[in-house]
Amino acid sequence: MAVSCSDTHVADQSSRRIGIIGGTFDPVHLGHLLIAEEARCRLQLDQVIFVPARISPLKLEDGTLFDEEQRYRMVCAAIASNPGFTVSRIDLDRPAPSYTVDTLRLLRNQLGDQHSYYFVLGADSMVTMAKWRQPDAIAQLARLAVVSRPGYAPDMEQLEAAIPGVGGVIDLLDGLLLDISSTEIRRRLQHGLSIRYLVPDSVIEIISTSGPDRMGHRGSQAGNLPQ
């Protein structure tokens, strides 16, 4: 499957509302797309930029199931039908690991400080934010659009104590409770189970041509990937 994808761009120099959603996207799934769309609509964002990480600091030992270019192609395919979504290679084209604070700084330098930036993340990620590199700087570089996730409720008092002032830059987006994870999708792939309705069909097509060695299907054929 041929996938073309334009890198990040902002159509004009006027002030815009830009969302940023990062991750390894290993693989990208419908939960990522729904979170991004929820933020785009609720916060009236002009653009949401997907930023695939070369490798997350939290996954240095584990690595990824799919390589950088496969994950980039999957994101391109997944967002192709939404004109409000775009993708950036800013993390893929620099040395690992990909720290959020560095990503935000680089994007602001690239796109300009005249825009309003919103870093989109799930409540499960927000719970661990105090352990990230320079979380206080992250809170100064962008507002935090936190989308609810089943079973996760950030302790705002604890977060405020760890990251002073963070409460003033959080936009809580409640109501979207979707329990889909890349971890579960990888598990299903490795056990030959269906991932249909968990990831876009265009992503399934890319996965099906990636080869059994990428997915743990020892002895199976990529063309027979359960959907």
Residue 151, in any domain of the structure = yes
Assess whether pLDDT exceeds 70 at residue 219.
no
- Which pLDDT score is estimated for 153? 77
pLDDT at position 59, please? Answer: 60
- Segment (H or E) for 47: strand 47-52
User: Domain total for the chain?
Assistant: 1
* Residue at 54 is within a domain: yes
Instruction: Quote the domain boundaries for residue 88.
Output: 17-180
Q: What is the mean pLDDT of the chain?
A: 87
State the greatest distance between any 2 C-alpha atoms of the chain, in Å, as a whole number. Answer: 55
pLDDT of residue 222: 35
Where residue 133 sits, what CATH number does that domain have? Answer: 3.40.50.620
The whole-angstrom separation of Cα 148 and Cα 123 is 5
Distance separating alpha carbons of residues 175 and 129, to the nearest angstrom: 21
Q: Is residue 70 part of a domain?
A: yes
CB 76 within 8 Å of CB 3: yes
Residue 212, in any domain of the structure: no
In a domain, 214, yes or no: no
Q: pLDDT value at position 9?
A: 59
What's the whole-model pTM score? 0.88
- Across the beta sheet with 85-87, the strand order is 85-87, 47-52, 17-23, 116-122, 143-147, 170-173
pLDDT beyond 80 at 213:
no
pLDDT at 210 over 60: yes
Least confident range from 8-12, 85-89, 119-123, 200-204: namely 8-12
> Is pLDDT of 156 > 80?
yes
Task: Determine, yes or no, domain membership for 96.
Answer: yes
pLDDT computed for residue 2 by the predictor: 44
Query: Does residue 108 belong to any structural domain of this protein?
Result: yes
The 10 Å CB-count burial string (b at 16+, else e) for 92-105 is: beeeeebbbbbbbe
Predicted confidence band at 123 (pLDDT cuts at 50, 70, 90)?
Answer: confident
Helices 201-208 and 68-79 pack at an angle, to 10 degrees, of 150
What is the structure's pLDDT at 226?
A: 47
Q: So what's the pLDDT on residue 179?
A: 83
Extract the tokens encoding 214: 């990428």
Q: Do residues 212 and 222 lie in contact, with contact meaning Cβ atoms separated by under 8 Å? A: yes
* Residue 2 domain-assigned (yes or no): no
